[in-house]
Amino acid sequence: MSAKGFTLLEVILALAILAGAVAAIGELVRVGVHNAEVARQLTRAEMLCESISDQIAGNAISATSTSGVQCDDDPRFLYSVAVDQANQSGLLSVQVTVVRDLPPEEHPVPFKITRWMVDPGIESQQMSTEATNAANAAAASADSTGTTGTGS
């Protein structure tokens, strides 16, 4: 006699294999969605980091060390700035770190960028020295061309 259908054992085994496959695929989808969200947050943090670094280079934000400041562009993120003297005179090493404002148990991923830039203090000092030198040169040329001295 030949059976013309599936036995109960075969159906249960097939359903168990199907349930295991669906569970594995569901876990893969969950991990993929989580990683996509982390990548989206890192991309946003990178854009904010670049923006803050550019603002520091343009003197819109002072080149001083700060910590835990809320980003103006996206209040969900906090930034920190660490400013150190670089190995070369007149250069600063500015490290900007941007992280999502989440509790530590959610493991927020920070994004850091380091940029070397001319020390604004040195740059303004050089500009004032050049202005003083130009003023002195103008005064000296004015003295030699049109000023008369009093003599004895």
Listed range (60-64, 88-92, 116-120, 129-133) with the worst mean pLDDT: 129-133
What confidence score (pLDDT) does residue 147 get?
Answer: 47
Confidence of residue 149 (pLDDT cuts 50, 70, 90): very low
What is the pTM (predicted TM-score) of this model? 0.64
Question: Dihedral sign, CA of 46, 109, 41, 102?
Answer: negative
Q: What is the pLDDT of residues 27-45, one digit of tens each?
A: 999 999 999 998 999 999 9
- CA pair distance 74, 45, nearest whole angstrom: 9
Q: What is the pLDDT of residues 88-113, one digit of tens each?
A: 888 889 999 999 998 889 888 899 99
What confidence score (pLDDT) does residue 142 get?
Answer: 63
Confidence of residue 18 (pLDDT cuts 50, 70, 90): very high
121 HSE (CA, 13 A, CB side)? 9
The ranges assigned to domains in the chain are 11-132
Strands 91-100 and 77-85: antiparallel
- CA pair distance 98, 43, nearest whole angstrom: 11
- CA pair distance 72, 52, nearest whole angstrom: 10
**CB neighbourhood size of 61 (10 A):** 19
What confidence score (pLDDT) does residue 5 get?
Answer: 78
What confidence score (pLDDT) does residue 4 get?
Answer: 76
Q: Which of 61, 62, 80 is nearest to 70 (CA)?
A: 80
Q: Which residue has the higher pLDDT, 125 or 7?
A: 7
Chain centroid offset of residue 74 CA: 12
Q: What is the pLDDT of residues 76-87, one digit of tens each?
A: 999 999 998 888
